[in-house]
Amino acid sequence: QVQLVESGGGLVQPGGSLRLSCAASGSFFSINIMGWYRQAPGKPRELVATMTSGGYTVSADSVKGRFTISRDNAKNMVYLQMDSLKPEDTAVYYCYGVIKISYVSTRNYWGQGTQVTVSS
C-alpha cells in the first residue's frame, strides 16, 4: 500500500511564505513524478508544479517566480516552497505521485490534502 502524506499547510498573511512537504511510503520500485496540485472552493483541481526523478519541472504560470518545487529522491519526499503568497493561492493542496509499483505497473497516487489559507 502506497501512501502520500502532506504537511505544512496553514494560515498565512498575504506576502508571507509556507513550505509544504510530502512523504511517500509503502512498497514500490521508484517514483517517476512527484508534485503538487491544488483545488480552491468551486474550482477544478489544477496543476501547481511537478518534478521528475531527473529534475525536470513543470509549473503553472500563476506560481512561476513565487513557488519552488524540490525533491529528495533518497527520502521519497517532495517539497513546495511558497513565497509571496496571494489570497488567490488559497486552496487545498494535494501531493501527487506517479509511482512504479512493479516491473510492469505504474499508478497515480494522491495525498489527503492540506489546507493553505492566505488572508489578512
Other Cβ atoms within 10 Å of 49 Cβ, number: 23
pLDDT-based confidence at residue 48 (cuts at 50, 70, 90): very high
pLDDT-based confidence at residue 21 (cuts at 50, 70, 90): very high
- State pLDDT tens for residues 51-81: 999 999 999 999 999 999 999 999 999 999 9
Phi–psi pair at 87, nearest 5 degrees:
-55, -35
pLDDT (0 to 100) of residue 8: 96
Other Cβ atoms within 10 Å of 86 Cβ, number: 13
- State pLDDT tens for residues 5-20: 999 999 999 999 999 9
Alpha carbon distances (Å) from 10 to 5, 7, 52, 89? 15, 9, 27, 12
